[in-house]
Structure 1
Amino acid sequence: MQRLWREKGLQRPTPRKQKRARPAEGSVRPHQVWAMDVQFDATADGRRLKFLNVIDEDSRLCQAIRLGRRCKARDVVAVLEKLIRLYPAPAFIRSDNGPEFIAHALRRWSESSGTGTA
């Protein structure tokens, strides 16, 4: 096999080293970092459902699940305000860059509550 490869001028590709993923900075105590995400599903008749999930990264407790047909920034702010009445405010909130998480309403709420984004 090696002779055939040599005759055709072929070489085995050199393996590339993969970069190690850095672990994300996590929390060291409960209610330090909350993670938010929106997940999608559909009903039997094809209508879309959106789930807003808020999870404490240290204890892995689900702080809130909001179910609705839509999930706008003001809906996210309303859920976070309810959570802060029940639990201490987190130091940071981690989320992806979805439209409901990068809106001005959520940014203003974050600044007024003293909660940073991670």
Structure 2
Amino acid sequence: MDFMHNQLSDGRSYRVHNMIDDYNRESLENLIDFSLPAERVLRGLDQLIAWRGKPKRIRSDNGPEYISDLMEVWCKQHNSI
């Protein structure tokens, strides 16, 4: 999981949250919006798990969305820590 960001021609920034399968490099989900707080990222993870099943591991950097208390609670609830 990782974020990318860019700007529209009118100057507004948008973010893209990519979820990629490291084994086969398949793009599993891309969330695109002007704001992607931890709640939105976790909702995307829940949808992905419902569709593809729980991954063995989740790899990410230490961005604020990934080190939030909400993410820690989610990981404990899903036995991902």
TM above 0.5 = yes
What is the match of residue 37 of structure 2?
Answer: 72
What is the match of residue 28 of structure 1?
Answer: none
What is the match of residue 100 of structure 1?
Answer: 65
Return 5+ residue gaps in structure 1 as ranges.
1-35
SS of the counterpart of 1:101? coil
Amino acid at match of 1:90: P
- Kindly state the Cα deviation for residue 88 of structure 1 after the two structures are TM-superposed: 1.5
SS of the counterpart of 2:50? helix
- Kindly state the Cα deviation for residue 59 of structure 1 after the two structures are TM-superposed: 1.4
Runs of 4 or more off by more than 6 Å in structure 1? Answer: none
Amino acid at match of 2:32: L
- Does residue 90 of structure 1 match 2:55? yes
- Kindly state the Cα deviation for residue 92 of structure 1 after the two structures are TM-superposed: 1.3
Say if 1:74 and 1:105, in contact at 8 Å, map to a contact too: yes
Return 5+ residue gaps in structure 2 as ranges.
none
- Kindly state the Cα deviation for residue 58 of structure 1 after the two structures are TM-superposed: 0.4
- Percent identity of equivalent pairs: 31
* Structure having the higher Rg: 1
RMSD after superposition: 0.8
Say if 1:76 and 1:106, in contact at 8 Å, map to a contact too: no
